[in-house]
């Protein structure tokens, strides 16, 4: 595919191969953009922002609604693109394509809700005859930098709200998975989005990212990805608004009164879908010593039942990781934990980019598999004897994106909700759950700012205060 900059599809002789992570076959190629392309992209987007600023909310909503309809019509094609480039099983690709359309639909609704407030300025001393109100205005040019693991869904979480708020948006998709973002551009154009209002530049983050994020004409950066890249972008961004959706090593606490069958069922889903490559994937499991053995015997057969292989084949429950090097890293961390005293219950092997679903028991929280973000198909179990210790362990991390507890005790659930340092809290479900309309974002090193169209539109617009000095 070509990239879309300055309102036109543009090719280049230098290409990036987009590979199927399962077998390494080339799915397609995209141009390798460079700094000059970024400059052209931003210049086009500045003109696009001027066009978008003048488009009434009703028309912005109509465009987005039409795009959502087109996405639903083309959902099977979108699902296949997502699964082919990313490696998730087709069932997950289908869920992603439907949810992506829903985000664009939610954004259409939000386009009509940009509102300000009236301020009672006469409440300030000496302010008789003053009348004040706020108006919300677009930021202008929004840069959306996205990761590989939800190549359509997370792009929509940025593009939808940016357009709803009256901005022009420049997408820089992950180099491993740019195809679904480019397909989305085709759909947005068909839905009537002005060509200069949507840009998609392909190229390596290191080459095009700094130029894009450091440019003063970009007024807002919305980034989803690793802590390291997010931290780097914050330093290069300078004086502009920034939203950071970063990683985590999500904890799950299993109390002695939990429904262990349900915990096991949920954990087999929330720890292993997309090969564990989900920012809120369950990674650290703290289990009450009293129910440890029973929980493990419930969990093991359910994880054993996760069949692996070609993500596009019927019957596969878990596909490959994005790159063989990532699979090798996860395999290494598992081996390192076992050498340091963890017990391998199941899994632990690797073939190419596929890592077998793994359960490690007796994990020491200081092991890399626990204290760093694993981003792979393994969970580590650690015992505890009281809830205070479990909460302390859950909090003993730089991350804070999602955390979960299973208990029937309301007091324990509330203690967990209040004391655990995490942007998303789940009671009686796993860490991996999200409705696209909810405020979603992390604490601590998991980031800043919230996504979910209503919240993202807020972050992609600015408030102006208007004071009318009336005759008193
Ligand atoms: P990366 O941080 O490696 O990459 C994310 C994006 O940043 C890619 O588009 C990448 O481009 C780009 N990039 C790389 N270097 C720069 C730079 N110097 N300036 C600007 N952009 C740059 O993340 P991954 O794609 O590997 O995704 C996995 C990470 O994302 C995990 O940590 C995961 O937890 C996190 N994540 C967080 C979510 C959340 O909502 N909190 C949701 C999903 C994932 P390129 O691909 O070309 O290198």
Per-residue pLDDT of the chain (472 residues; tens, 9 = 90+): 999 999 999 999 999 999 999 999 999 999 999 999 999 999 999 999 999 999 999 999 999 999 999 999 999 999 999 999 999 999 999 999 999 999 999 999 999 999 999 999 999 999 999 999 999 999 999 999 999 999 999 999 999 999 999 999 999 999 999 999 999 999 999 999 999 999 999 999 999 999 999 999 999 999 999 999 999 999 999 999 999 999 999 999 999 999 999 999 999 999 999 999 999 999 999 999 999 999 999 999 999 999 999 999 999 999 999 999 999 999 999 999 999 999 999 999 999 999 999 999 999 999 999 999 999 999 999 999 999 999 999 999 999 999 999 999 999 999 999 999 999 999 999 999 999 999 999 999 999 999 999 999 999 999 999 999 998 6
- Ligand 1 center–CA 445 separation, angstroms: 14
Backbone angle region of 364, left / alpha / beta, with phi > 0 → left and psi within -120 to 50 → alpha: beta
- Ligand 1 center–CA 189 separation, angstroms: 26
253 lines ligand 1 (CB under 6 A): no
pLDDT at 472: 66
213 lines ligand 1 (CB under 6 A): yes
Annotated catalytic sites, by residue? 245, 279
347 lines ligand 1 (CB under 6 A): no
Two structure tokens written together for 2: 């070509």
Burial annotation 135-148 (CB, 10 A radius, 16+ → b, else e): ebbbbbbbbbbbbb
> Which DSSP letter does residue 451 get?
B
- Ligand 1 center–CA 146 separation, angstroms: 6
Dist CA 398 CA 445 (whole Å): 6
442 lines ligand 1 (CB under 6 A): yes
209 lines ligand 1 (CB under 6 A): yes
pLDDT at 80: 98
Dist CA 388 CA 31 (whole Å): 53
- Ligand 1 center–CA 222 separation, angstroms: 11
- Ligand 1 center–CA 234 separation, angstroms: 13
Question: Strand 241-245 and strand 447-448: pairing?
Answer: antiparallel
pLDDT at 20: 98
> What is the number of the ligand 1 atom nearest to the C-alpha of 225?
30
Closest C-alpha among 135, 108, 139, 110 to residue 46? 139
Question: Strand 343-346 and strand 358-361: pairing?
Answer: antiparallel
| Residue 228 near residue 235, CB atoms below 8 Å | no
Two structure tokens written together for 126: 């000496």
376 lines ligand 1 (CB under 6 A): no
- Closest protein CA for atom 37 of ligand 1: 246
Dist CA 240 CA 42 (whole Å): 15
CA 71 to chain CA centroid, nearest Å: 19
Dist CA 355 CA 275 (whole Å): 8
- Closest protein CA for atom 48 of ligand 1: 205
pLDDT at 365: 96
């Amino acid at each position: 595919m070509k990239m879309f900059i300055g309102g036109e599809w543009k090719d280049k002789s230098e290409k990036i191969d987009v590979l199927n992570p399962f077998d390494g076959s080339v799915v397609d190629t995209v141009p390798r953009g460079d700094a000059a392309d970024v400059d052209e992209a931003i210049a086009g987007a500045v003109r696009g922002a001027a066009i978008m600023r003048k488009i009434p909310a009703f028309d912005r909503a109509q465009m987005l609604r039409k795009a959502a309809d087109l996405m639903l019509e083309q959902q099977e094609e979108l699902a296949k693109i997502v699964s082919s480039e990313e490696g998730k099983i087709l069932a997950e690709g289908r869920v992603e394509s439907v949810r992506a359309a829903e985000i664009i639909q939610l954004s259409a609704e939000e386009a009509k809700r940009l509102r300000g407030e009236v301020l009672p300025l006469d409440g300030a001393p000496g302010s008789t005859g003053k009348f004040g109100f706020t108006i919300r205005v677009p930021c202008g040019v929004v840069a959306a930098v996205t990761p590989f693991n939800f190549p359509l869904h997370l792009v929509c979480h940025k593009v939808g709200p940016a357009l709803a708020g009256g901005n022009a948006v420049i997408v820089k998709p992950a180099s491993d998975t740019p195809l679904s973002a480019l397909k989305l551009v085709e759909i947005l154009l068909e839905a009537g989005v002005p060509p200069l209002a949507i840009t998609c530049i392909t190229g390596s983050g290191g080459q095009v990212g700094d130029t894009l994020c450091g440019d003063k004409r970009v007024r807002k950066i919305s980034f989803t990805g690793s802590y390291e890249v997010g931290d780097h972008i914050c330093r290069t961004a300078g004086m502009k608004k920034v939203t950071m959706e970063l990683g985590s090593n999500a904890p799950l606490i299993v109390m002695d009164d939990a429904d262990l069958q349900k915990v096991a069922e949920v954990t087999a889903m929330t720890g292993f879908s997309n090969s564990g490559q989900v920012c809120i994937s369950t990674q650290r499991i703290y289990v009450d010593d009293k129910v440890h053995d029973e929980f493990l015997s419930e969990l093991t057969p359910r994880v054993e039942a996760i069949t692996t292989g070609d993500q596009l084949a019927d019957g596969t429950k878990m596909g490959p990781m994005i790159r063989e090097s990532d699979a090798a890293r996860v395999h290494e961390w598992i081996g390192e934990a076992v050498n340091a005293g963890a017990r391998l219950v199941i899994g632990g092997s690797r073939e190419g980019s596929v890592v077998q679903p793994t359960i490690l028991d007796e994990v020491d929280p200081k092991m890399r598999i626990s204290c760093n973000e694993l981003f792979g198909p393994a969970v580590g179990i650690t015992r505890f004897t009281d809830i205070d210790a479990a909460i302390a362990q859950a909090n003993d991390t730089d991350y804070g994106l999602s955390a979960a507890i299973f208990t029937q005790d309301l007091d324990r659930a509330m203690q967990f909700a209040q004391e655990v340092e995490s942007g998303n809290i789940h009671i009686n479900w796993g860490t991996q759950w999200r409705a696209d309309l909810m405020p979603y974002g992390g604490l601590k090193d998991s980031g800043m700012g919230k996504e979910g169209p209503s919240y993202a539109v807020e972050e992609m617009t600015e408030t102006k205060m208007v004071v009318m000095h009336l005759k008193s």
